[in-house]
Structure 1
Amino acid sequence: MLTGRATAAAKTSDGPVEMLRLFKLAKGSAIKSRTQAINQLKSVLVSADTTLRESLAGLSNPHLFKRCAELDAQHASGPAGAARHTLRLLARRIRHLTEEIDDLNKRIAEAVEVSTPGLLEVRGVGPDSAAALLISAGDNPERLVSEASFAALCGTSPVEASSGKTQRRRLNRGGDRQANAALYRIVLSRLRWDDRSRDYLRRRLAEGKTRREIIRCLKRYVAREIYRLIVPTRAPTDQTGPTPVAV
């Protein structure tokens, strides 16, 4: 603020959450590269010579990549030899990227446990979803003054959409969309495996709510639950002074 009275605290990136962000960045890049390599391998295989193509037909992806990585290209020449060499290179690249992704998955899970012990024990929360939520909160989640501010940060706070006699709220299109997507995945998992969530769905459907509205409500509940884990317990706020707000 121009008056110099701003009390907002900026998100910091000097701890385990920053490690998570970097690991997620590397993992996303590796997944993209592996997908590209898989598509290229199958494209080369389509135009390969008939003998090679038939010898690899019907194999599952893991077996296909293993066979391609073991191809002998030294005794073949011309386009057939080039195809064998290319398939071997691509298969070995896929294997290397898979090992890289597995290593990053392990590092992400470890970093989540260091940052917020017990978060991965919450029903429906996996390493990727946990990482997205922690990255949104930053290394100083205490700057979030309430669970409502965390919900707004994740784009799960309700937006008034009432008109006339119709009272309703709609989805929030703002906030951190990666964190919002993580909450969505958690809710979908719970709707499949958690009895309480499924009972809630049936009850609200009977009340006339749409499935989209119910998922919005459930995301809000999950955001509250996650907030209580990632933000340290607060002492009562001193009402005599200014209250900081999150940015």
Structure 2
Amino acid sequence: MIVVGIDSHKKTHTLVAVDQVGKRLTQVTVDATAKGHREVCTWLGQLEQVLLAIEDCRHLTRRFEADLLLSGYAVVRVHTRLMAGARLSARERGKSDPIDAEAVARVALREPDLPKAELDGPTREVKLRSDHRRTLVRQRTAIANKLRWFLHEIDPELVVPSRGLKRLCVLDTLEADLAARCGVVAEIALDLVRDCRRLTMRINAMEAQLRQLVRELAPNLVAVPGCGVLSAAMILGETAGATRFKSKDAFARFNGTAPIPVWSSNTVRVRLNRGGNRTINNALHMAAVTQVRQDGSGAAYYVKQLAAGKTVKEALRLLRRRISPTGPFAPCWLTRPPMTASGSSGNCHRRLDIEASPSSASSCRSAGPDSVGRARRVLLRHHQARVVRHHHLAQPGRSPYSDLRLH
């Protein structure tokens, strides 16, 4: 099999083909245009069993990836941090487009589980609208901060309610008041009020569009307690399809709710993960805070962790991790039931089903507390068996989680 590494720029694309041992075979540089993309497809037709590896810079390569995928080629994405080691270990010194493309190809040979490129789906529309709405909110906040100082200069007794500059009725009152005043400051303040009105109307319209999209794509995500339309839009847009994650643990690693292992020998210790996708992490945090304020399973779990000796921050982190596999992601993971210690498929999906759909939650509650307790005990035994199997920490009379601490 031949691996072709691609180093993309705004004006050109450089492609280097290597064999199975990483030896450079040939290279080509084309323009980053539709004509150049057709030239690449013609050049690739001369090779057999080609795997394309492209540096993950989708703001530059999105159109190129789409043309390659529509032509029937398999494309994987290489994160930029993986290229540093490949470039340092290469014999050729320096940095150039062919050197970078060759490093991309060698990383694809070394890493078998790179993410595969796919055509943009409906979740990209959610991401674009969500990002654009956040940009509009930041613009309105900057204008509102400047407007408040002008209003204080015009009349210190003119009281504007907290967060009132996002309400159309307050903006109508300010516009009528400023229109009757004279001076440059009043004129500029009037323009700022109109800008706030315009941005507020666009933000409200964008939120209505997001509400319709989210309810069509992932209605069960909005049903999760504490997860509103905006949080659900951030999760959907940043996830870009839950099927690309092999398990709920892989998704937790992606969003930063899975802790980082920092242990050796027989003492299992983990620390806070400050990486991952912080946008999804922020949405999960808002959902966790909302669940703590309400009466429900989230608040009960939070109180339970506090009673077990966890701090407030640690309890919130554990609640975020508990919320992570819910919503639209649980069903695609529940299609592959995990194996219990005895080797048979267990009953350990019950807890995730409770969080995923209200109907399953009501059916589980109707079954009585004993069935729920049994499901939770099976889930705990499954996790303990998996830790023992992977980390060889089985000790008679001792739980593998006995030394687990969050730092």
Are the aligned partners of 2:221 and 2:326 in contact in 1 as well (CA < 8 Å)? no
CA displacement 1:85-140 (0-9 Å, x = unmatched): 222211111111111111111111111122212211111111121122112220x3
Give the CA deviation at 1:20.
1.1
| Paired residues for 1:205-224 under 5 Å | 205-224=306-325
Q: In structure 1, what is the Cα distance between the partners aligned to 2:322 and 2:209?
A: 28
1:93 paired to 2:195 = yes
1:121 paired to 2:227 = no
Give the CA deviation at 1:162.
5.3
| Paired residues for 1:4-19 under 5 Å | 6-10=112-116, 12=118, 14-19=120-125
Are the aligned partners of 1:11 and 1:137 in contact in 2 as well (CA < 8 Å)? no
| Paired residues for 1:156-195 under 5 Å | 156-161=257-262, 168-195=269-296
Specify the alignment match of 1:241 in structure 2. Answer: none
Specify the alignment match of 2:174 in structure 1. Answer: 68
CA distance 1:26–1:230, change in 2 (3 Å): farther
Q: Give the residue type in structure 2 aligned to 1:68.
A: L
Specify the alignment match of 2:399 in structure 1. Answer: none
Q: In structure 2, what is the Cα distance between the partners aligned to 1:72 and 1:46?
A: 12
Q: Give the residue type in structure 1 aligned to 2:221.
A: L
Match of 1:22 among 99, 123, 128: 128
1:106 paired to 2:212 = no
Q: Give the residue type in structure 1 aligned to 2:134.
A: G
Secondary structure, counterpart of 1:41 in structure 2? helix
Give the CA deviation at 1:198.
2.3
Are the aligned partners of 1:120 and 1:126 in contact in 2 as well (CA < 8 Å)? yes
1:143 paired to 2:244 = yes
Are the aligned partners of 2:248 and 2:330 in contact in 1 as well (CA < 8 Å)? no
Task: Give the strand-richer structure, 1 or 2.
Answer: 2
Are the aligned partners of 1:141 and 1:230 in contact in 2 as well (CA < 8 Å)? no
CA distance 1:35–1:2, change in 2 (3 Å): closer
Are the aligned partners of 2:151 and 2:158 in contact in 1 as well (CA < 8 Å)? no
CA distance 1:218–1:227, change in 2 (3 Å): farther
Q: In structure 2, what is the Cα distance between the partners aligned to 1:232 and 1:213?
A: 26
Q: Give the residue type in structure 1 aligned to 2:239.
A: A
1:57 paired to 2:158 = yes
CA distance 1:231–1:107, change in 2 (3 Å): farther
Are the aligned partners of 1:136 and 1:154 in contact in 2 as well (CA < 8 Å)? no
Are the aligned partners of 2:242 and 2:329 in contact in 1 as well (CA < 8 Å)? no
CA displacement 1:49-81 (0-9 Å, x = unmatched): xxxx26x623433455323322575x87xxx43
Secondary structure, counterpart of 2:138 in structure 1? helix
Q: Give the residue type in structure 2 aligned to 1:20.
A: V
Q: In structure 2, what is the Cα distance between the partners aligned to 1:17 and 1:43?
A: 40
CA distance 1:59–1:202, change in 2 (3 Å): closer
Q: Indicate the larger mover: 18-27 or 193-202.
A: 193-202
Specify the alignment match of 1:38 in structure 2. Answer: 144
Are the aligned partners of 2:218 and 2:328 in contact in 1 as well (CA < 8 Å)? no
Are the aligned partners of 1:191 and 1:198 in contact in 2 as well (CA < 8 Å)? yes
Give the CA deviation at 1:10.
3.3
Q: Give the residue type in structure 1 aligned to 2:322.
A: Y
Give the CA deviation at 1:26.
1.4
CA distance 1:135–1:190, change in 2 (3 Å): same
Q: In structure 2, what is the Cα distance between the partners aligned to 1:2 and 1:16?
A: 28
Q: In structure 1, what is the Cα distance between the partners aligned to 2:336 and 2:305?
A: 36
Q: Indicate the larger mover: 63-72 or 228-237.
A: 228-237
Secondary structure, counterpart of 2:158 in structure 1? coil
CA displacement 1:146-197 (0-9 Å, x = unmatched): 0110010010112234589975432211110111111111111111103322
Q: Give the residue type in structure 1 aligned to 2:324.
A: A
Secondary structure, counterpart of 2:109 in structure 1? coil
Are the aligned partners of 1:20 and 1:135 in contact in 2 as well (CA < 8 Å)? yes
Specify the alignment match of 1:245 in structure 2. Answer: none
Higher RCO, Cα 8 Å, sep 6+ = 1
Are the aligned partners of 2:221 and 2:227 in contact in 1 as well (CA < 8 Å)? yes
CA distance 1:163–1:206, change in 2 (3 Å): farther
Unaligned 5+ runs, structure 2: 1-106, 339-407
Unaligned 5+ runs, structure 1: 238-247
